[in-house]
């Protein structure tokens, strides 16, 4: 999917406007506070129904207004179009897809996949496992048609088991253990399969950004002792689960780790190298979606690129993106931060939107 058109009203400091972006690379320029990230948030709203910056709806509405609205049109590989929309009020959110109200934001996600690279993206590797689980599940969602239902059933069963643990009703646990193993094993196996499919593309992408790295590993962890089945782990850990009042093992505790040259990436890489590895990981995920049969490839949002990478790596990234079948939106304060010309360039000034197309195809080195 590519974004063919976006319109907005009262979105943060963006009053009103519209844009028909390029299906490839798009550079969004402007000084700090001009509305660059707000525009990315608008695109993100169309694909996720929420911001990547805040969970507070009120913060997305322009000061002095009572509501904000973003609408857009996306087109798939075969030319079929979908209309998307999100309307935000004080504490309310209304979604629209092809003239109807979808049951949840999952329908938007299925229609228009969005990935984000921002100054906080290194948390994917540096912080706890929650973001890594979400990263895996985002990819598995598009690869495995039954994954979402298995995950939902697993979480429902997990809730029942945790309630029984808190009530000390141990005689009722075995039936729920069996159900938890059934769906939990499905979830863990789907994640492991996805990790195996992702690894070759990750290895190839890493060569572009960290050419000195000769070996990269990606290992998924199911969330329990791999020497046991999930049901055996649940039985063995019952005393501890009763003390804690919740289930300690299962795919809700799953994770993945990256290794570089046989060592943990966290310990091996510098801060700058970690950024590049995170970029490679997200780009590898995009490439895997592009290589699939699905028409839903989505787009990539990169916020404040110039401050995140040095000039050499910025240009290396832009060149890499230019070779992909991927729509990308990059924000920066100054076009001179790039030695490569990005033909589709828009400018924001104090929330006002105007488009300047740079008519040049010359690349400098």
Angle between helices 271-291 and 173-209 (to 10 degrees): 110
Joined tokens for residue 300: 């990539």
The confidence score (pLDDT) of residue 296 equals 58
Does an H or E element contain 201, and which? helix 173-209
pLDDT of 217 reads 96
pLDDT digits (tens, 9 = 90+) for 219-230: 999 999 999 999
CA distance 258 to 338: 30
- Count how many Cα atoms sit within 13 Å of the Cα of residue 317 in the half-sphere of its side chain: 28
pLDDT digits (tens, 9 = 90+) for 31-81: 988 899 999 999 999 999 999 988 888 899 998 899 999 999 999 877 789
Query: What CATH fold (topology level) applies to the domain 117-295?
Result: Glutathione S-transferase Yfyf (Class Pi); Chain A, domain 2 (1.20.1050)
337 pLDDT exceeds 60? yes
Q: Structural domain boundaries of the chain?
A: 1-113+299-365, 117-295
Of 165, 146, 115, whose CA–CA distance to 284 is shortest?
115
- Summarize pLDDT for 151-177 with one digit per residue, the tens: 999 999 999 999 999 999 999 999 999
Instruction: Check residues 8 and 304 and name the one with the higher pLDDT.
Output: 8
248 vs 356, more confident: 248
Which pLDDT band, with edges at 50, 70 and 90, does 334 fall under?
A: confident
Kindly report, residue by residue over 200-219, the tens digit of the pLDDT: 999 999 999 999 898 999 99
Lowest mean pLDDT among 258-267, 309-318, 347-356: 347-356
Closest by alpha carbon to 1, among 83, 106, 69?
83
Cα three-residue angle 284-195-139, rounded to 5 degrees? 60
Residue position matching structure tokens 């009020």: 89
Q: Which fold has domain 1-113+299-365?
A: Rossmann fold (3.40.50)
- Check: CB of residue 42 under 8 Å from CB of residue 66: no
Most confident segment among 71-85, 103-117, 178-192, 298-312: 178-192
Where residue 150 falls among pLDDT bands split at 50, 70, 90?
Answer: very high
Sort 242 into a burial class: Cβ within 10 Å, 0-12 / 13-18 / 19+.
middle
Candidates 305, 301, 361, 360; CA nearest to 338 is 305
- The pTM of the full predicted model, rounded to 2 decimals, is 0.90
pLDDT in tens, 126-144: 889 999 999 999 999 998 9
């Amino acid at each position: 999917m590519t974004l063919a058109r976006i319109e907005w009203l009262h979105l943060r400091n963006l009053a009103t406007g519209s844009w028909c972006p390029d299906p490839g690379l798009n550079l969004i320029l402007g000084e700090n506070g001009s509305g660059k990230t707000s525009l990315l948030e608008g695109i993100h709203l169309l694909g996720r129904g929420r911001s990547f910056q805040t969970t507070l709806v009120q913060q997305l509405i322009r000061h002095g207004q009572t509501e904000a609205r973003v609408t857009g049109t996306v087109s798939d590989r075969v030319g079929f179009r979908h209309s998307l929309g999100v309307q935000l009020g004080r504490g309310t959110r209304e979604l629209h897809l092809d003239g109807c109200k979808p049951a949840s934001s999952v329908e938007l996600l299925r229609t228009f996949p969005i990935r984000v690279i921002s100054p906080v993206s290194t948390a994917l590797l540096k912080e706890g496992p929650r973001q890594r689980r979400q990263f895996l599940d985002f990819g598995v969602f598009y690869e495995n048609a039954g994954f979402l239902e298995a995950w939902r059933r697993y979480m429902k069963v997990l809730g029942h088991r945790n309630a029984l643990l808190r009530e000390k009703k141990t005689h009722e646990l075995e039936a729920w253990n069996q159900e938890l193993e059934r769906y939990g094993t499905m979830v863990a196996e789907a994640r492991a399969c996805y990790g195996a499919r992702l690894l070759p593309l990750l290895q190839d992408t890493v060569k572009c950004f960290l050419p000195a790295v000769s070996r990269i590993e990606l290992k998924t962890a199911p969330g329990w002792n791999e020497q046991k089945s999930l049901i055996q782990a649940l039985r063995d850990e019952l005393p501890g689960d009763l003390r804690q009042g919740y289930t300690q093992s299962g795919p809700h505790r799953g994770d993945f780790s990256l290794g570089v040259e046989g060592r943990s990436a966290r310990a091996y890489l510098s801060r700058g190298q970690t950024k590049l590895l995170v970029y490679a990981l997200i780009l590898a995920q995009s490439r895997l979606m592009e290589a699939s049969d699905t028409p839903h490839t989505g787009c990539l949002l990169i916020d404040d690129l110039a401050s995140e990478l040095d000039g050499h790596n910025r240009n290396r990234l832009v060149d890499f993106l230019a070779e992909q079948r991927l729509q990308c939106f990059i924000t920066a304060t100054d076009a001179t931060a790039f030695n490569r010309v990005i033909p589709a360039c828009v400018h924001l000034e104090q929330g006002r939107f105007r488009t300047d197309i740079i008519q040049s195809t010359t690349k400098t080195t």
